[in-house]
Amino acid sequence: MNLILTIAWRNILRHKGKSLVIGVILFTGAFLMTVGNGVISGMAAGIEKNIIDGFMGDLVLISDAQKSDNILLPMMGASIEPVTAYREIKGILAAQPYVKRFLPVGKNLAMVLDESTTAPGYAYLLGADFGEYRKMFPDNFTVLEGSYPAPGERALLVPTFARDEFYDFYNIWFLPAGGRVVKENLKKEALANFPTLNLSTSVVMMGMTSGLNTTNDIRFPVTGINRYGALNQIFGHFCLVDIESYRECLGYFTAADMAAQVPREEKKLLELEGSDLDSMFGGEEMIVSTAKKAPKLKAEAPKEAKLAGDGVYNAVFIKLNEGEDYGKALKELNKALAGKGVRAVTWNKASGPIGGMALIIKGALFLFVMLLFCVAVIIIVNTLTMAALERAPEIGMMRAIGAQKTFIAGMFLGETAVLSAVFGGLGVLAGIAAVKIIPLLKINTKNDMLQLLYGGNFFNPLLSLPDIALTALQLLFVTVVAALYPMRVAVNITPLDAVSRD
């Protein structure tokens, strides 16, 4: 082995030009592979962080009646089944030590209606208690116009992306009540029509469900215009509304409906047996004295029923404590909620194609970098093959004095391995340095497609030990593949070939 490596190193120094070409290719490939793996890991971590911290948490509770785990952007806007036992579920969630915070929400599609058009538009509604929502996701968006709604206020927050979509469909520019047009926030087409801009401070929506409940047309006052800190094109499909208005729009029971209990006197009447009921219609007691005041019928509802938490939701977003194991938490939570009509799923399942987008882009980037390596392999193979043919007399002489084919093959593999270790290793180190430096540059973007690649609004590639190990394996694969054909050419050179070439 030492002899092979010594001869390999000597040949590298003898053929500096070709060795340098191969070395530069290996360095570039290793560098790009390292940075590429860093970008892939950073993107996946960024998407995960922004969805978990900014939109839906680590786990999501959905109804057992829900067929698909994908509730974020389901196919054809399919309605999400309601969760009706939140009061009971709430106590179970609060008792779990691994649960940090949770937020019940309503989430479904609504038609956007307008008197001037015959065809309706569509928007996703996310109903929640504004105070609790802010505690769960304190920094996920900025209110650009208007104000953040007060807890309990009937209100609607329209994301900039949804507002732009509404303008394209209705030619209406939505503003918060009492607000003014901010030219900096106008989309290009709206700015061109600024003098004749059609303005509105409210929007009429009608909920869409596949159940038996009847939906309603609700006029929502626009309280504010918001922009999400990252992935605004994805999250910007969702208009945030107060939970009671959401329930009215979707035709669900509201907290007020839950509070409207049957009066005590009517409840007694309904509980009477047949004989007792007949006795009420005989005797003098049927005549009520005018001197006596008839009992006042008053709904007596428990204090808790006046809370919005008593109504219907579609999901519960859950954040876990830092470092909790997803698999373990999911298993324990589903065990605790057994028989309650709900199931817990992970964020990537609940977010559907958005959760899988990281894998898709990751696969695309991986294939791109591997394509670069394939090009590098072709160049290295060609260079080493030419070197083998040029050294035919030397190889033939070595074969004549007893060198075995395995020795010749080992010599070529050793040369490639040394070049790969030196130049490839330098490429990996340079890639690690680049991945560490890039976040310090604070490269940011507002482009939605680039934000998918960045994993957020900042370009923040990450490298872990598994990523570096993957780069080393890829480099090893390239080394072996690149050396196979030149090795075959070299071992097939005979002493006679050497004489004939001379």
172 domain-assigned: yes
Q: Are 420 and 377 in contact (CB under 8 A)?
A: no
- What's the confidence (pLDDT) of residue 135? 92
Handedness of CA 186, 187, 188, 192 (dihedral sign): negative
349 domain-assigned: no
391 domain-assigned: yes
| Same-domain pairing of 438 and 374 | yes
Token digits of residue 494: 């005979």
Tokens 């994908």 locate to 70
- Whether 255 has a pLDDT exceeding 50, the answer reads yes
* SS3 category, 105: strand
- What's the confidence (pLDDT) of residue 289? 36
Which residues, 6+ apart, have CB-to-CB distance to 451 below 8 Å? Answer: 230, 231, 232, 233, 445, 457
Between 67 and 416, the higher pLDDT residue: 67
Which residues, 6+ apart, have CB-to-CB distance to 378 below 8 Å? Answer: none
Separation between Cα atoms, residue 86 and residue 129, nearest integer Å: 14
| Same-domain pairing of 267 and 318 | no
| Same-domain pairing of 117 and 249 | yes
341 domain-assigned: no
Task: Give the range among 362-371, 447-456, 488-497 with minimum mean pLDDT.
Answer: 447-456
Instruction: Name, of 56-70, 249-263, 417-431, 483-497, the range with top average pLDDT.
Output: 56-70
- Whether 273 has a pLDDT exceeding 50, the answer reads no
Task: Give the range among 51-60, 98-107, 111-120, 312-321 with minimum mean pLDDT.
Answer: 111-120
Separation between Cα atoms, residue 315 and residue 102, nearest integer Å: 10
E-state strands within 229-272 = 238-242
| Same-domain pairing of 97 and 235 | yes
Q: Are 326 and 333 in contact (CB under 8 A)?
A: no
CA angle 179, 232, 360 (to 5 degrees): 170
Residue 100: pLDDT band (50, 70, 90) is very high
- What's the confidence (pLDDT) of residue 118? 59
How many structural domains comprise the chain?
3
Model-level pTM greater than 0.85? no
344 domain-assigned: no
334 domain-assigned: no
CA angle 491, 492, 498 (to 5 degrees): 100
Q: Are 80 and 134 in contact (CB under 8 A)?
A: no
Full 3-state SS string of 476-497: HHHHHHHHHHHHHHHHCCCHHH
Q: Are 238 and 126 in contact (CB under 8 A)?
A: yes
> What does pLDDT average to over the chain?
79
Q: How many CB atoms lie within 10 A of CB 185?
A: 17
Q: Of 239, 271, 303, which residue sits at a domain end?
A: 303
- DSSP labels for 347-412? HHHHTTHHHHHHHHHHHHHHHHHHHHHHHHHHHHHHHHHHHHHHTHHHHHHHHHTT--HHHHHHHH
Which residues, 6+ apart, have CB-to-CB distance to 7 below 8 Å? Answer: 411, 414
Separation between Cα atoms, residue 73 and residue 94, nearest integer Å: 28
Instruction: Name, of 15-29, 152-166, 260-274, the range with top average pLDDT.
Output: 152-166
| Same-domain pairing of 244 and 380 | no
Decide the pairing of beta strands 315-320 and 99-113: antiparallel
- Whether 133 has a pLDDT exceeding 80, the answer reads yes
- Whether 64 has a pLDDT exceeding 90, the answer reads yes
| Same-domain pairing of 211 and 84 | yes
- What's the confidence (pLDDT) of residue 259? 52
| Same-domain pairing of 136 and 244 | yes
Instruction: Name, of 228-242, 333-347, 355-369, 488-502, the range with top average pLDDT.
Output: 333-347
Backbone angles phi, psi at 227, to 5 degrees: -130, 130
| Same-domain pairing of 223 and 363 | no
Where in the sequence is the domain holding 377, given as residue range(s)?
Answer: 2-51+357-501
- pLDDT above 90 covers a percentage of the chain that reads 27
| Same-domain pairing of 404 and 426 | yes
Best CA proximity match to 178, nearest among 138, 140, 225, 137? 225
| Same-domain pairing of 435 and 490 | yes
* Separation in Å, CA 383 to CA 14, 369, 485: 15, 21, 11
Backbone angles phi, psi at 319, to 5 degrees: -105, 135
| Same-domain pairing of 227 and 205 | yes
| Same-domain pairing of 297 and 372 | no
369 domain-assigned: yes
DSSP bridge partners of 173:
199
Handedness of CA 141, 143, 147, 153 (dihedral sign): negative
Decide the pairing of beta strands 141-146 and 217-228: antiparallel
471 domain-assigned: yes
